[in-house]
Amino acid sequence: MFVGSFTDKKPGTGIHVFDFNTKSGEAQLLSEVDSIINSSFLKLSPNGKYLYSVIESQLQTHGKIAAFKIDSNAGDLKLINMQDCGGRNPAHIEIDKSGKFLAVSNYTDPSLSFFEVDETGKIKKIDEFFTFTGSGIVKGNQDTAHIHSSNFSLENDYLFLQDLGSDCIHKFKVNLDANQNMSLQKADAIKVKPGSGPRHFVFHQNGKYGYGINELSGKVSAYALLNGNLKFLADYNAYSKKQDSYRSADIHISPDGKFLYASNRGPNEDSIVIFSINKSNGALKLIGHEPTYGEHPRNFAIDPSGQFLLVANQFSNNIVIFRRDVETGKLQKLPQELVVNGSSSLQMFTYSH
């Protein structure tokens, strides 16, 4: 398990590597990388050989992206290289299913940086760069466009960008030439309800549905996907009760496709909301809410076996481990908590030794 963190406000050490036991749910620290600041979002390559991290700069300079080679036997990371992202505060990394192309979402300077990766995991210089304009109705959060994340469709033929500041989802057509070189072509944008603040998105494994978590409205939006087009289906409350403001954050679907989970970051409710998924029509049914036993659950992960869910509580500096009931979707907290200052991102992979 790989844990990214914010290091600017508290003395975090960048990236932590843990050995996670998929039977007991216990974790043991293997190594740390202290040469990276604000490794706030991590992404594994599909084959598990490489780890990519944003370097979320708070300065008036561009953020960066770093590539690491993973030694799965020792649990060590070796820096391969870094590249400039072309914008401040890169917040998210997406990798296509071939592992050859990276999309980086720059939040403060609303833009998308598109990179090619070579066979050694090294990131080449920016291949394509797109900027965005726009605004929304929520002062402060939506004074300008803010690209928070991106997702390739399961068929790798479209890329969808969540624009928190402009209340829309930008769509790009993915083009591959005869040599399998990828390029992006701007298509249309899907408008969402004003004041929603789309943040993260996930596609269902059946390829028919997608679900977005809206930070500012505290709702999960369900969409049908057909021929590259997203059709809005319904909104579902992520919080258990009405709030003066909302800060929903992350969203994931269980490996069996039966349950959807999303995180809420206060101000009065730090929780994971649990829904069951109707695979025939994409509808969600509320199962319940589970407290995260910490503050500001920015990110969480479901382990590849589907038996466990782990939550990174950024402000309380702890990672809480839950056992997941695969039949009901409900969560049960386990005794062990991991201490990682500013923990903000989790990535998991099963290695065979």
Which positions ≥6 away from 34 have C-beta within 8 Å?
A: 13, 14
Each residue's pLDDT tens digit, 332-353: 999 999 999 999 999 999 998 6
| pLDDT on residue 8 | 77
Taking Cα atoms as reference points, which of 73, 82, 210 lies closest to residue 154? 210
Vertex 60, ends 58 and 64: CA angle to 5°?
Answer: 65
Are the C-beta atoms of 72 and 17 separated by less than 8 Å? no
pTM: 0.97
Amino acid present at 257: G
What's the distance, CA 160 to chain centroid? 13
What's the pLDDT score for residue 109?
A: 94
Beta bridge partner(s), residue 252: 261
In the chain the domains, ranked by start, together with CATH numbers, are: 2-347 (2.130.10.10)
Please say if the pLDDT value at position 13 is more than 90: no
The tokens 């993915």 sit on which residue?
174
CA-CA distance, 333 to 318, in Å (whole number)?
A: 13
Q: One-letter amino acid identity for 73?
A: N
- pLDDT value, residue 96: 97
Average the pLDDT over 132-156 and give the result.
98
* Signed CA dihedral, 46, 343, 115, 250: sign only: positive
Strands 284-291 and 297-302, by their bridges, are unpaired
Helix H or strand E segment including 260 = strand 259-265
Supply the pLDDT for residue 267: 86
Indicate if the pLDDT at residue 182 is higher than 90.
Answer: yes
Q: Which residues, other chains included, contact 39 with Cβ-Cβ below 8 Å and sequence gap of 6+? A: 4, 5, 7, 14, 15, 33, 53, 54, 55, 56, 66, 345
Average pLDDT over residues 241-250: 96
For the record, the structure tokens of 175 come out as 């083009």
Give tens-digit pLDDT for 185-201: 999 999 999 999 999 99
What percent of the chain has a predicted confidence (pLDDT) above 70? 97
The reported pLDDT for the residue numbered 58 is: 57
pLDDT one-digit tens code per residue, 295-310: 999 999 999 999 999 9
Residue 245, classified by CB atoms within 10 Å of its CB into exposed (0-12), middle (13-18) or buried (19+), is: exposed
Confidence of residue 36 (pLDDT cuts 50, 70, 90): confident
Q: Mean pLDDT score of the chain, rounded to an integer? A: 96
226 pLDDT tier (thresholds 50, 70, 90): very high
Mean pLDDT of 68-94: 96
Query: What end-to-end distance do the CA atoms of the chain give, in Å?
Result: 15
Beta partners for residue 43, in sequence order: 52
